[in-house]
């Protein structure tokens, strides 16, 4: 079965329980949006899935195979919140390093095509963030984890990023977190809210109000 699946996730920092019996899954063709307030455990959950953090307990499978660190499978790619690629590396070298199957398609993207000889750190903050996201999206990974991909992007660049994500929904599954919840609502095929350490299915903005993510508007 083509599915990224994690269940019974329990994790705490000291005495603070961050995640309690959290369940999340993502199939090929899905864009699963994960919402939650600051400190709710969204980023922690993605790091646990990728293998960067070892939780106190979890049950994790990729395509039916039990695993503890999905990055070892080569099927999962992860975009962390902050810049993660050294600023002095050239974009053309990064394209060769991160992409194979979809490299020719990535080279057609104007931002990439016009800056192949440029060092990543010479780009504006928004374009640098977009390039890092594109390298992850166009990688060979079947499942893509994006943590706050829209947070440093101007609206037009955010729309461009959403177009790139949508382009791959036939062959990949995406799990995306972001504080810009409208971006998540617009692009996701399914929404999950993490609140008080647990996860809740979200069908519309009223559910976000009901679960305390958005304030009641009189």
* Number of Cβ atoms within 10 Å of the Cβ of 206: 10
pLDDT value of residue 92: 97
pLDDT value of residue 217: 55
Please, what are the domains in the chain?
Answer: 3-83+129-210 (3.40.50.300)
Cα distances from 111 to residues 5, 16, 100, 128, 133, in angstroms, run: 34, 43, 18, 10, 12
Cβ atoms of 33 and 187 closer than 8 Å: yes
Q: What is the DSSP secondary structure assignment for residue 163, as one 8-state letter?
A: H
Cα distances from 140 to residues 52, 129, 172, in angstroms, run: 20, 19, 9
Could you read off the pLDDT tens digit of each residue along the chain, which spans 218 residues? 799 999 999 998 888 888 998 999 999 999 999 999 888 899 999 999 999 999 999 999 999 999 989 999 999 999 999 899 999 999 999 999 999 999 999 999 999 999 999 999 999 999 999 999 999 999 999 999 999 999 889 999 999 999 999 999 999 999 999 988 999 999 999 999 998 888 899 988 888 988 888 886 54
pLDDT value of residue 216: 66
Q: Which two tokens stand for residue 117?
A: 């000889």
pLDDT value of residue 160: 96
The SS3 assignment for 116 reads coil
Of 84, 177, 104, 99, give the one whose Cα is nearest residue 140. Answer: 99
pTM of the model: 0.95
Q: Which two tokens stand for residue 54?
A: 């070892």
pLDDT value of residue 152: 82
pLDDT value of residue 204: 86
pLDDT digits (tens, 9 = 90+) for 86-139: 999 999 999 999 999 999 999 999 999 999 999 999 999 999 999 999 999 999
Return phi, psi of residue 75, to 5°: -100, -5
């Amino acid at each position: 079965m083509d599915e990224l699946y994690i269940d019974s996730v329990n994790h705490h920092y000291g005495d603070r329980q961050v995640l309690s019996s959290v369940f999340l899954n993502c199939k090929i063709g899905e864009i699963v949006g994960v919402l939650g307030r600051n400190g709710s455990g969204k980023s922690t959950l993605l790091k646990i899935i990728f293998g960067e953090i070892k939780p106190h307990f979890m049950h994790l499978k990729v395509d039916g195979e039990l695993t503890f660190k999905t990055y070892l499978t080569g099927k999962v790619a992860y975009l962390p919140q902050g810049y993660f690629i050294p600023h002095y590396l050239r974009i053309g070298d990064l394209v060769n390093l991160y992409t194979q199957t979809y490299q020719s398609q990535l080279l057609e993207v104007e931002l990439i095509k016009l800056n192949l000889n440029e060092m990543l750190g010479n780009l504006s903050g928004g374009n640098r963030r977009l390039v890092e996201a594109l390298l992850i999206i166009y990688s060979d990974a079947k499942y893509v984890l994006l943590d706050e991909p829209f947070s440093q992007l101007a609206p037009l660049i955010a729309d461009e990023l959403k177009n790139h994500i949508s382009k791959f929904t036939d062959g990949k599954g995406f799990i995306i977190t972001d504080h810009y919840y409208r971006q998540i609502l617009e692009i996701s095929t399914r929404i999950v809210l993490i609140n008080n350490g647990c996860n809740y299915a979200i069908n519309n903005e009223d559910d976000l109000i009901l679960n305390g993510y958005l304030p009641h508007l009189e």
